[in-house]
Amino acid sequence: MIDPRLHVLRVLAEVGTLTEAAHRLGYTPSAVSHQLRGLSKDLGVRIVEPRGRGLVLTRAGQLLLERSQELFTRWEEIRGELDGLGTGLDTRTRRLRLCGFSTAAAVLLPPTALTVMERFPGAEVTIIEADPEECFDLLISDHADVAVVVATDPLPPRSDPRFEQSALFSDRLDLLVPVGHRLAEKSTVALSEAAEESWILDRAGSPYHRLVRTACAAAGFQPEQAHQSREWETGASLVSAGLGVALIPRLARLPDGFDVVRVPLRGDPVPSRKILSGIRRGSGAQPIIASALEVLREAAETAAPQGARPSRPAAGAACAASSRQRW
């Protein structure tokens, strides 16, 4: 097995402080410090050094981390090969942890979890709702096995050797306007037609905030933010009251009871967000993870709508996402 202190070093390199590394690993800061000192002593080189309030890797630490990535990848592959033998393995010992941003956690991950549990009776399957950046932290700290994220800065690039990332689908965006709005009766609109509107956005720096600003910039304007909302229910309520407009992904379900209309956007390309899956590199050889990725792709194909959803859902209509789902 891989020296667990290499895993500690890996997490520290990601987060930069003993306190945060300890939090991610479930250790105390003193335990993390002890393991790093022990690894440094055994190797005979300094692997970390203080910088400001945090720690950074020395050149020796960087080399160790880069070379150990091959070990982590190979270890994941070995686990998959051993699991694939299927000799005497109790399926109850299998564990799968799925993580994803709010829309994915509500729409894509439940059917994936249910199908995997059918294929691997007795396996422990857990769903974790997390922001895209946190999802990759969960993979690195071995608190999650499969992540579903929106491709946006500052996520790791697709070339990052620690992960395998695959495109699932493009989730088109709709313009959300109140009933009676000048754009509400149109079959499609160009995003530029809403340039003079007041906008409802998430907090600055959030994936949704960046997504909207990027889409609007491509359409030739910067949205004027009138209100800030983090949840579908709040955002739909503000739009329904005529306080502004918003962009809403096609995958997201609207809560009932609001006088709002989703107007499909047109353009070349149509504004959308890219949905990706991510795993630790090499772990796709493990049967339960391979199965989860297969099912996830099938769930994505089913969930990815091509046409506009109804503008005002009928009362009592099934809704896979919570009304308090995050933007």
For residues 239-257, average pLDDT: 88
**What's the rounded Cα separation, in Å, for the pair 214 and 227?**
18
Asked if 123 and 96 count as a contact pair (C-beta separation under 8 A), the reply is: yes
Residue 52 carries which DSSP code?
A: T
Task: Give the pLDDT score at 45.
Answer: 94
- Residue 275's contacts (CB-CB under 8 Å, 6 or more residues apart) are 104, 148, 149, 150, 151, 167, 168, 169, 170, 171, 251, 300
pLDDT digits (tens, 9 = 90+) for 78-111: 888 887 776 555 555 689 999 998 888 888 999 9
**Per residue in 58-68, pLDDT tens?**
999 999 999 99
- pTM, whole model, 2 decimals? 0.79
pLDDT above 50 (res 239):
yes
Average pLDDT of the residues in 287-294: 95
Q: What integer pLDDT is reported at residue 79 of this predicted model?
A: 85
Residue 291 has pLDDT above 60, yes or no: yes
pLDDT digits (tens, 9 = 90+) for 202-221: 998 887 888 899 999 999 99
Could you tell me the pLDDT band of residue 322, with boundaries at 50, 70 and 90?
Answer: very low
Percent of the chain at pLDDT > 90 equals 58
Provide the token pair at 197: 């509107």
State the Cα torsion 198-201-203-205 to the nearest 10°: -110
Predicted confidence band of residue 311 (pLDDT cuts 50, 70, 90): very low
| pLDDT tens track for 144-172 | 999 999 887 778 888 899 999 999 988 99
How confident is the model at residue 210, as a pLDDT? 86
Which burial class, exposed, middle or buried, applies to 243 when counting CB atoms under 10 A from its CB (0-12, 13-18, 19+)? Answer: middle
Q: Model confidence at 112, in pLDDT bands (50, 70, 90)?
A: very high
Q: How far apart are CA 256 and CA 69, in angstroms?
A: 48
190, two tokens: 């160009």
pLDDT exceeds cutoff 60 at 327: no
